[in-house]
Every structure is written in structure tokens, then in C-alpha cells.
Amino acid sequence: MQDLRGILIRIERFKSLEAQYTKIHVKPLKKLWEDFDLKQRASRLDMEKLGGESINGLSFSSWLPNFYDETLLYLEQEWKWYAHCDPLPFALS
């Protein structure tokens, strides 16, 4: 992995790889964020089906801590993977 990183830096392609990696790996986080809206829509549809009866919907303030937890877990997994593949940036001086 370190050799590949060196090659990409020499041929000035590391930034494009970094951009592509970010583009691909932001999708799971975006899906987590959009999950709230999907749950809200489903709750509204359920309410309409029941003739307008009140249903306890998911509030943003109760959903947000779960989003943060899932995001942190995802970032920790990415950090461990990257540290394993490319320990150079993580080496102590």
C-alpha cells in the first residue's frame, strides 16, 4: 500500500484518488442522514392510513444521537482501516 501511495504521489494522482475515495465513502453517511427523512415520510403515511390519528413519530432530537453514534462508528472503522493500510501518516516522530 505504501508503494502504491508513493507511486500515486510521484505521478500526481494521489489527490484524485483521495477525492474519489471521499466521494464513495461519504455515501453511507449520506444514507444515514437521509434515513431520518424516510422515517418521517413513513410515519406521515401511516398517520394518513389510520385516518389522521396521532402516531408517535420520530423527533429529530431523539434521532440525532443515533446518527452521531453511527457516524462515529463508521469513522472509527475507516480510521483503523487506513492506519492499517498506510501507517506512515500515523508514525510517531
Q: Dump pLDDT digits (tens) for 32-88.
A: 889 888 888 887 777 777 765 544 567 888 888 989 999 999 989 888 887 777 666
In whole angstroms, what is the distance from residue 28 CA to residue 73 CA? 12
Q: What is the pTM of this model?
A: 0.60
Backbone CA torsion sign across 83, 24, 4, 13: negative
Measured distance CA(73)–CA(80) in Å, rounded: 11
Which residues lie closer than 8 Å to 47 by C-beta, 6 or more apart? 53, 54, 55, 57
Q: How far apart are CA 91 and CA 17, in angstroms?
A: 22
pLDDT value for 19: 86
Provide the pLDDT for residue 92: 47
Give dist(CA 75, CA 35) in Å, integer. 18
